[in-house]
Structure 1
Amino acid sequence: MTDKTPDLDRTPESPLDMAANDLAPPAEGADADRLAKAEAERDEMKDRLLRTLADMENLRRRTEREVADARTYGVTAFARDTLNVADNLRRALESVPAEARAGMDGALKALVDGVELTERDLLKTLERHGVRRLEPKGQRFDPNHHQAMFEIPDATVPNGTVMQVVQAGYVIGDRVLRPAMVGVAKGGPKAAAPEAGGGQPQ
């Protein structure tokens, strides 16, 4: 016959004992694992934060640069179209021979003076918007700003000197809007060492 007599020596766990067991500190190995996991999560979050801050700084700088470029170069297409007007004004003035100008008076002189004034005003307006006309005559040929159209034999000036400007060039900010079309000297003494960005015509 099986003895079903309860073990009176065994004391049942009270609710307080069970709660105390739940709150007991985990084993030392579990503590180390939990700490390592928390440190890994912290390092990951720190890395994400630093990457986000770097991305935001790069975005801020890029946006500032794009805004500055838009402010400087936003009128590029309009300015390039306006150059035709400047060219036509210059051609109109150059079509009047110097000797004819000397003998002009009355309405004809007023017309020529008016065209000159219009050209000056147009160039000043372009300059206010960052567009500047190049004046390369007498300067060393620079392939970044000039386009050589022909060579002019001349032994009296350094080789590669701009002797004639066929069409004026323009820059906007630090970019070439249109290179100056020029004729360069050939056959003279060797030019001095080029500055940064300079060079000889091909």
Structure 2
Amino acid sequence: MTRKKEKKENPSNKALLEDEDEIVIDDSKEGTSKEQDDLQAKIEVQDIKLIEGEEQKVLEYYSKDNFIEEIKILEESNKKKDEQLLKYQTESDDWKNKYTRLQAEFENAQKRWNKNRQNLRIEYTASALKTFLPLYDSFKKALENSDENQVILKGFFDQFINILKYHKAIPIKVKVNDTFDYNYHEALSSIERDDLPNNTIINIIQDGWKLDKEVIRYAKVIVSRVPPPPEPEPEVKAELEEEITQENKESEAISNENEKEKQQETEKADKETVEPEEKNQ
């Protein structure tokens, strides 16, 4: 690598010299000594800068081999940087995928926790309210059987119902002639009824309650069932039995006759086979 110094004429100095001529011309016209002194000071400053070499430019010259070597070095460095960039990009994508999966798992786990917590809350509330339902039954029976203190009992009963409804417990709606539903009703017994379809509620023994979608207590009811068909009369039954026995006897007689005919045919065939043998002897 060689360096070559080249002196160039400073364009700023040249401009200053041209300006000097113009200023000198102007000074000759104006005849002021102050401007001439300023111009002289500027020229001296430019000369000092040229002497110190502050504005000299140094040019560097390279050979062809040096250029090729520098290009190879730059290509290798760029290749390494590209590989490193690709590595960092893949690592970034991996971390991004891991973060996305973890975020999805966390959201799913949070949903499961909230659902389980809600189910536990409903379950515990239902078990607590279930212990107060006998008090509801007692209030209801007292209202149905009492005439004197019905107003006082009605106030207590309404207050108790409001407490249950405050905890989102509601009675199961059921009435007579409704169809029996296994999800909300419990059949204590069944009665034969000709005028009603099968599994029709004919009496309500105890009210049912539910909390949200969970049943606290099933409604206890009595349902109807269709009676079985009447049995045939004895005379008709006897006639049927006689017809059946007669048909059985006829079939037995026919089968016996068929067996006799088969036996006769076999005996006849045996005789026919025995006679030729005797003749041959």
TM-score, length of structure 2 as denominator length:
0.47
Q: What CA distance in whole angstroms lies between the structure 2 residues aligned with 1:137 and 1:114? A: 27
Question: 1:116 maps to what in 2?
Answer: 154
Identity rate, percent: 23
1:111 deviation in Å? 1.6
Determine whether 1:38 maps to 2:88.
Answer: yes
Question: 1:131 maps to what in 2?
Answer: 169
Question: 1:3 maps to what in 2?
Answer: none
Q: What CA distance in whole angstroms lies between the structure 1 residues aligned with 2:173 and 2:191? A: 18
Contact 2:127 2:216 in 1 (8 A): no
Q: Which has the larger radius of gyration?
A: 2
Question: 1:182 maps to what in 2?
Answer: 221
Determine whether 1:140 maps to 2:179.
Answer: yes
Contact 2:190 2:222 in 1 (8 A): yes
1:27 deviation in Å? 6.6
Question: 1:168 maps to what in 2?
Answer: 207
AA matched with 1:165: I
Deviations 1:68-95 (A, max 9, x none): 556656532321111111012223344x
1:50 deviation in Å? 0.6
Residue 183 of structure 2: SS of its match in structure 1? coil
Determine whether 1:151 maps to 2:193.
Answer: no
Deviations 1:99-149 (A, max 9, x none): xx7xxxxxxx33233223322321222112211112312321111111111
Q: What CA distance in whole angstroms lies between the structure 2 residues aligned with 1:88 and 1:25? A: 95
Contact 2:198 2:226 in 1 (8 A): yes
Residue 148 of structure 1: SS of its match in structure 2? strand
AA matched with 2:223: V
Determine whether 1:52 maps to 2:102.
Answer: yes
Higher relative CO (CA 8 A, sep ≥ 6), structure 1 or 2? 1
Question: 1:15 maps to what in 2?
Answer: none
Q: What CA distance in whole angstroms lies between the structure 1 residues aligned with 2:76 and 2:188? A: 88
Residue 110 of structure 1: SS of its match in structure 2? coil
Q: What CA distance in whole angstroms lies between the structure 1 residues aligned with 2:168 and 2:179? A: 24
Question: 2:141 maps to what in 1?
Answer: 91
1:160 deviation in Å? 1.4
Deviations 1:34-85 (A, max 9, x none): 3443233122101111112213332443455456556656532321111111
Give the aligned CA root-mean-square deviation in angstroms. Answer: 3.0
1:169 deviation in Å? 0.7
Residue 215 of structure 2: SS of its match in structure 1? strand
Contact 1:73 1:173 in 2 (8 A): no
Q: Hey, which of these two has a bigger chunk of helix by percent?
A: 2
Contact 1:171 1:178 in 2 (8 A): yes
Q: What CA distance in whole angstroms lies between the structure 1 residues aligned with 2:166 and 2:85? A: 65
Contact 2:139 2:157 in 1 (8 A): yes
Residue 187 of structure 2: SS of its match in structure 1? strand
Contact 2:190 2:225 in 1 (8 A): yes
TM-score, length of structure 1 as denominator length:
0.62
Structure 2 residue ranges without an equivalent (≥5): 1-69, 228-281
AA matched with 2:134: N
